[in-house]
Amino acid sequence: MKLKALSHYDNDLNTRFGDCILLYDNTNLVVYDCGHTDHKKAVVEFLGKNNSITSVNIVVSHNDSDHTDGVNELLIWLYYSEKYTVSVYTHQYLKHVDTILDKIDDGRRTRESLKKALLAEFDNIKTIIETAEALGFSAIEALRGITVGTCTIVGPTIDEFTDVAATAVDSRVGNSIGEGHAEETVMNAASVQLKCELDGNETALLCGDASPTYLKDLDKYDVIQLPHHGQLADAEAAFDALGNAGSKTFLISDNTGSGATSGGSDDLMQSDASKGKRIKNTNKEIVELPEESLYGGGWSKTQSGIIRPATPKTGGYGASYGIL
């Protein structure tokens, strides 16, 4: 698989374009988030240039609009193109309503009132699932171990994302998960994490805005999306979890506006934490991995800069809202 992280458009750094990362081979495309209609247009253009692709899988990492705003338009376009097998992967909280109710345990909520609260809190996911099923596409629960094309969902656990859902709808508790510089808002914390084997013998982890608390076995990955658009505190937590952060490639999907509205990558890039790290930032460039070598196709550059052969590793939603 290859990775392409979409960026801003027409040098516009003031619009919140949000995330969109493509993972693809000759026949399969995985779209990890689609935070803006301009990203949807870029995906359509990409598919027009890659006519052999027949399967499109869309992973929605979490509910925030800068990860979801282009998804429904993309689904509608895919439907009318009549060319692709399409599946959507995201959390389906209503399947775990009893577990979430037990975690809240306030003696006031009923099962039905909790369902309504979850649908209101995770409204973008609700709409995406409705749209997918109305168009006849598969809506699949994003659980650990589920395969998405040739990629695999590796997190969060059911316990982790139901903790997040319980916190999100429980007015007695705060709006964060984790502690210290690994703290994240509940809406972000349990983002779907996706593992993918890239050409060039590298393994990538995409994690949306996940809390660093929920990121596991980071040392096993060669390419790591830094959570929450490269926010400094989250990046520091990820670096702290790694024995040798200098050996990795880090991806910052900071294409969400400038200044106060950005993910904070400028703070990271100007900090001591970034020194000695190989960081690719979508606010500066369209990131494609593995990088193309001057020595022609079929070769890639290692972390040390040595050119080597790029050999892959082997080895009824409907009105009831019943599966959110």
Containing domain of residue 202, as a range? 2-312
Which residues contact residue 299 at a Cβ distance below 8 angstroms, ignoring those fewer than 6 apart?
A: 293, 307, 308, 309, 310
Domain count, the chain: 1
- Scanning the chain, the segments in alpha helix (DSSP H) are 37-49, 65-68, 71-81, 97-104, 111-121, 123-134, 158-169, 186-189, 227-230, 232-241, 265-269
Residue 323 lies inside a defined structural domain of this protein: no
Q: Per-residue pLDDT tens for 16-50?
A: 888 999 999 999 999 999 999 999 999 999 999 99
Residues of the chain falling short of pLDDT 70: 171-185, 256-264, 292-324
Residue 110 lies inside a defined structural domain of this protein: yes
DSSP-based three-state secondary structure for 8:
coil
Residue 286: predicted pLDDT: 80
Residue 321 lies inside a defined structural domain of this protein: no
Q: Per-residue pLDDT tens for 260-277?
A: 555 567 888 889 999 999
Mean pLDDT score of the chain, rounded to an integer? Answer: 85
The model's pTM:
0.88
Residue 319 lies inside a defined structural domain of this protein: no
Residue 292 lies inside a defined structural domain of this protein: yes
> Cα angle vertex 308, ends 303, 309, to 5°?
130
Check which CATH number belongs to the domain holding 143 and give it. Answer: 3.60.15.10
